[in-house]
Amino acid sequence: MTETEKIQEISLVDTAKIIREELKTYFPNTKFSVRSDRYAGGCSIDITWIDGDSLISVNEIVKKFEKTELKGISHKDKLLKFRVDYVNTQRTYSDDAFSKLANTIAKDLGIEKTFKTKEEIVSYRISYDGCYLSDLTYQEIIKINI
């Protein structure tokens, strides 16, 4: 048996199931939506969630499932080939989580104001460098678990 014959091909739907299992294992407290999509010339899996674990952490787990046609990857002591062109991830943030982080950043910058709504945060310009508080908040929120 050749090396190629030992590789087991996994369908799009089964790949989505495996990704769901992996996400539950690594991030048991975060609820994910995992959807598969077929289009002309390929297929993808879209993963979304609100708050929870960081985009960076999730990508470390799920990106290994995309574009494995030329090589197999080891999964549970088997060599598998996943037929997925792209695994797309998108994390959104609740207004509460965004506001809490923005207020922490504002306090660290010496800003006395407490922001209650996302609209207030988005429109608040930080005077010493001209950027908006929301820009700093978005830069930080992708790095952290909420």
CATH number for the domain harbouring residue 68: 3.30.300
Token pair of 25, please? 């294992």
Q: Are residues 60 and 12 in the same domain?
A: yes
Token pair of 88, please? 């797309």
Q: Can you give the pLDDT at residue 99? A: 93
Q: Can you give the pLDDT at residue 52? A: 94
Residues of the chain with pLDDT under 50: 1
Token pair of 36, please? 């598969």
Domain with 112 in it: 95-141
Over the stretch 83-101, which tens digit does the pLDDT of each residue have? 899 999 999 999 999 999 9
Q: Does 146 reside within a domain?
A: no
Q: Can you give the pLDDT at residue 68? A: 65
d(CA 79, CA 4): 10
Alpha helices, DSSP H, located in the chain? 3-6, 12-26, 55-62, 95-108, 118-123, 133-141
Q: How many domains in the chain? A: 2
